[in-house]
Amino acid sequence: MSDSMKLARLIDFFKGNDDATTITQEEIIDDVVIDYITFDSRAVKANTLFICKGMNFKTSYLNDAIDQGAVAYLAEQDYGVAIPGIIVEDIRLAMAKLANFFYQSPWQDVAISGITGTKGKTTTAGFVNQILTLDSQEKAQSLPGFISSTFNYDGLEKTPSTLTTPEAMDLYEMLATMRDHNVTRATMEVSSQALKYHRVDDVQMRVVAFLNISPDHISPVEHPTFTDYFQSKLQIFEHGKVAVINEDTDHFEDILKAAKSAKNIERIVTVSRKNPTADYFADELTINDATQHFMIRNQGKTIPMKLNVLGHFNINNALVAAAIARENDVAWSTIQQALGQAKTDGRMEIYRSQDNQLTFVVDFAHNKISFEELFSSVKEMAPDNDLRIVFGSAGGKAENRRPDMGHVAGLNTNEIYLTSDDPNFEDAYKIMAEIEEAIYEMNPTAKVRSNLDRTGSIYMAYKDAIASGKPTTIVVAGKGSEDTIKINGRDEFYVPDFEYVQQLIAFYEFKGRI
C-alpha cells in the first residue's frame, strides 16, 4: 500500500477537523505531493512533510529540511519560509491525527497487545513476543511485530529503540509496515509519556494490560506528581477491548474502576499470585536453582509452568503474558514451551562461580518497586550469602528514584557501591550524594563507596567479596545488557554489566587453578 498523499488532501483533513489555525503559502499547494513525514531533519528526503516540534526547535532545522527536500511543514507557528505550512495549536495532538490519517489507520489490520506498568513492561512484552513468535512459526504465519524499549520489529527489519514507545509518526509508520507485510499481531510497550503526550491517541488495541503502579518518573520534565503519572497510565484503557490487570499491584481497586468505566473495554481479565478467584491464578511455586516452577489455574484447568527467570514479580509477568496469549488464541502447550525457554537479556541474569562462593545478579532494576522485588528475590535465592549492590541513577529525570532506591538499599544491605548510570547533563557526584544521603537515613552504619567508573565499582565489590572469604551475592543494578552510558548528551560505550561480571567469574576461576 502506497503511503503517498496530496498536500491539499492533508490540508482539507485538518480544516475539516478545525485543527489548523492557519495555512501559509496556500496558493502553491495544488501539485504538492507528500511521500514521507518526519520530525528529524536528518531523515528528510524528497517530498517530505516536516514536523517542527520540541522546546528547543530552531528555524535552522526547518531550513535544513527544506534543503534536503521538504515541501511542506507542520508547526505551532508560521516560520515565514517559502514552502506551505500547516499551523496548529497543539503539535503533539496534530502529529497523532496526521499519522493516523496519512498511514490510513494501520492498527485496524494488526491485533496489538499493549502493556503498561511501572515495572515489568519490557519483560512481559518479551514473554508475549516469544510466545507469539513460537505460535506463528507453528502456524507458518508472519512473525509478530514488536515495539519495545529494547528493539522494534516492523515485519521488515529489527532496529534498536530510542524510546519505550516511539513518537506518533514513527509508531504509525511501523504499524503501516507491519500491515503491508502481512503482520497480523504485535506486542507494544506503552509508556506513561506516550499516553500523556498523545503518541498513541488513535491506536486501538485488542488487549491492554496494566501490570502495576508505584511512584516513578516524577520530575519537572516527566510527571510533576504521582497523580499525573497514575492518570496518564490509566488512559491505556481507552485503547483496548480486553483489559488484563494484575490484582497484586498497589491501587488495584482504582485501576479496576478505571477499566470498568472505559467505554470501549468489553471484558476484564485478572491475574494474581494471591487471590485464587482471579481468572489466572498461580500457586505451588517452587524454585530450583535459577528456575521457577508453578501452576497456572484458569477456567478449571491446571497448567504446569516453568520459568527460567527468578523473581516472584516475574510470575505475575508470566501470568499476564499467558492471559494475553490466550486472548490471541494461542494454545496452552505453546505458552508452556515458550515461557519455559524465555529469557530476557539483562533481567535477573545470574552468574555463579563453580564453588558457589561468588554469585552475580545483573538486573535492570532502577526504581523503588523493582529494587524491593530484586532484593526479595536475591535473598530468597541465597538467604545465607553476604549481599552487596552496585547501582546509580539517571540524570535529568525521575528524581524521586534516588531517595527511593537509597532507602531500599539501606534497608537491605550494609555494603553499597554507588556509580554512574546515565547522568547525562547532571553532575554524577551530585546524584550519588543524593542517593548516599537516603541510604544513611535508613542505615547510619552502611558502608558506602562511590566511583564514577562503573566497571571499577563492580570490581571493587568483587575484590571486597573475595577478601571477606564469605559466600557473597553481588547485585549489579540499573543497566543490564546496555553497552552505553549517556554523558553530556552523548552515548559513551563501556563493557556491559553482564559481560564484565562474566569476565570476573572467569578470572576468579582461573586464579583458583594456579
| Structure-block grid coordinates of residue 492 | 559513551
What is the predicted pLDDT for the residue at 2? 52
Give every residue of the chain whose pLDDT is below 70, as ranges: 1-2, 18, 217, 512-514
Which pTM does this prediction carry?
A: 0.83
- CATH 3.90.190.20 boundaries in the chain: 349-513
Sort 335 into a burial class: Cβ within 10 Å, 0-12 / 13-18 / 19+. buried
The CA-atom distances, in angstroms, between 20 and each of 16, 17, 53, 199 are 9, 8, 16, 19
Burial call 270-282: b when 16+ CB within 10 Å, e when fewer: bbbbeeeebbbbb
Instruction: Please state, rounded to an integer, the average pLDDT across all residues of the chain.
Output: 92
In 268-389, which residue ranges form alpha helices assigned H by DSSP? 312-327, 332-341, 368-381
In this structure, are residues 189 and 121 in contact, taking their beta carbons and an 8 Å threshold?
yes
In this structure, are residues 485 and 494 in contact, taking their beta carbons and an 8 Å threshold?
yes
In this structure, are residues 8 and 20 in contact, taking their beta carbons and an 8 Å threshold?
no
Cα 131 from Cα 37, distance rounded (Å): 33
What is the predicted pLDDT for the residue at 348? 84
- CATH 3.40.1190.10 boundaries in the chain: 106-340
Cα 341 from Cα 72, distance rounded (Å): 49
CATH number (3.40.50.1980, 3.40.1390.10, 3.65.10.10, 3.30.1490.20) of 5-102 reads: 3.40.1390.10
Q: State which fold the 349-513 domain adopts.
A: Protein-Tyrosine Phosphatase; Chain A (3.90.190)
Q: How many residues does the chain have?
A: 514
What is the predicted pLDDT for the residue at 512? 58
Cα 270 from Cα 276, distance rounded (Å): 11
- CATH 3.40.1390.10 boundaries in the chain: 5-102
The CATH architecture of the domain made up of 106-340 is 3-Layer(aba) Sandwich (3.40)
- Residue-wise pLDDT for 106-140, tens only, equals 999 999 999 999 989 999 999 999 999 999 999 99
What is the predicted pLDDT for the residue at 381? 86
In 199-346, which residue ranges form alpha helices assigned H by DSSP? 226-234, 252-261, 312-327, 332-341
